[in-house]
Amino acid sequence: IDAVSKGDNVIMNVGPTAKGEFDYRAIERLADYGKWLKVNGESIYGCGPAPEEFAPIPGTTLTYNPKTNRLYMHILSWRFGTFQIPFGERVKCCRLLNDGSELKFCWNTLHLPVQKPPVVIPVVEFILK
């Protein structure tokens, strides 16, 4: 996520065997990536690194789409409770990308659901003022 948002490429190191077939594990993994991108692709495509004014939060990575003025927080380490968001005054509202559910947000505090969403890396979309 971080590398791609900075314009880098990701090498998956997936190729056919000597028999010209792909290993089933590689096929499953690529399908999982595809499912995640189908739901969360807007947090990658058209995005770049977050501007410096948006301080990174431990356990997350941020991407930003300048055309839509939306910031995306990829939660790499799910934690119960809340996140302190240092850029809260810039946030109009926020939601989880996987199901579109709006998250409770109060000034600089983002309240997360008790259970982690059923995706490998949950993504929060911040609609900025």
**pLDDT, position 82:** 84
- Domains with residue ranges and CATH for the chain: 1-129 (2.60.40.1180)
What burial class does residue 73 get, using C-beta atoms within 10 Å of its C-beta: 0-12 exposed, 13-18 middle, 19+ buried?
buried
Contact 123, 98 (CB under 8 A): yes
Torsion of CA 72, 78, 84, 89, to 10 degrees: 20
pTM: 0.88
Return the SS3 of 34: helix
What burial class does residue 85 get, using C-beta atoms within 10 Å of its C-beta: 0-12 exposed, 13-18 middle, 19+ buried?
buried
The pLDDT profile of the chain, 129 residues, written as one tens digit per residue, is: 777 777 788 888 888 989 999 999 999 989 998 999 899 999 999 999 999 999 888 899 999 999 999 999 999 988 878 888 888 899 999 999 999 999 988 878 888 888 889 898 999 999 999
Token pair listed for 99? 């199901």
Q: Is 46 left (phi over 0), alpha (psi -120 to 50) or beta?
A: left
